[in-house]
Chain A
Amino acid sequence: MNLQTTVSGRVLTAHLTGEIDHASAPRIREKIDDAVTEYAPTVLRLDFRGVSFMDSSGVGLVMGRYRHAKTLGCETQVANASRRYETILKMAGLTKIVRFVRDGNEVKKA
């Protein structure tokens, strides 16, 4: 997992790539939290476009980042998650706390 972050205004985008599982999640978590602390964005966008695999470890990753960002007054978004990843993320009721977006637009509510 190689994580790149880009900043546009007050939006920090974390470009997730490769596999997200229990083995890789801790390093990703640390990198994102460091970037959020450093840039103090108002929106943290977790971009799943480059993710080749994700299991339920991704749920903990998003929930934890939401909690960390919230303490700094920052909103969390999940961007470009495949249908499979969305299915897993939504099992935890993440839609209540995180906005799901695609290419910058909000996903239509079902």
Chain B
Amino acid sequence: MKKINEFRMTVEAKAVNESFCRAVCAAFAAQADPGVEEIGDIKTAVSEAVTNCIVHAYAEKGGKIYISAALLENGVLRVKVRDRGCGIADVKQAMQPLYTTKGDDRSGLGFSVMETFSDKLTVRSKVGKGTTVVIEKRLGSDGNA
């Protein structure tokens, strides 16, 4: 599918950048005339992906997060969130609802939330190399547009 528009950016894996990343993706999506719910869905899914990079991939020690997004001809927004962190040994297990490797106040719902609020979610990961999460969301179809 042909891209109509795209952007790329690199940000430091710092918690303070979580709101910045989801706001950038929402602002980029705005050109497709999305509904309020769709904007909320994108912000929520992106926030989960970015938080995973910070908390899991880089274990709060910092690193770079590579974000790109493309608006496709068919009205789909495709956001890629990539890190060069620790990687996930068992992606299937990591995607199980409530599965978490961290205690405290982590709920283990990151991937479940991404799945719920996107149309398609793809996760590729290699231990020691990093993880790429691709979130796809069709815009302009929730009736508010």
Contacts and interface: CB of A to CB of B under 8 A. Distances in A.
Interface of A: 19, 21-23, 25, 29, 53-57, 59-61, 63-64, 84, 87-88, 91-92
B112 A64 contact: no
A92 B105 CA distance: 12
Given A63-B105, A91-B109, A57 B43 contact: no
A25 B48 contact: no
Contact of A64 (B43, B97, B98, B105): B105
B107 A25 contact: no
B39 to A, nearest CB: 11
23 contacts: A21-B18, A21-B19, A22-B15, A22-B51, A22-B54, A25-B105, A29-B105, A53-B44, A55-B51, A56-B48, A56-B51, A56-B109, A56-B113, A57-B105, A60-B107, A61-B105, A63-B107, A64-B104, A84-B40, A84-B44, A91-B109, A92-B98, A92-B107
A interface SS class: helix
B131 interface: no
Nearest to B14: A23
Interface string B9-39: 0000001101100100000000000000100
A23 B16 contact: yes
B110 interface: yes
A56 B45 CA distance: 10
Contacts of A21: 15, 18-19, 47, 51
Interface in B103-132: 104-107, 109-110, 112-113, 116
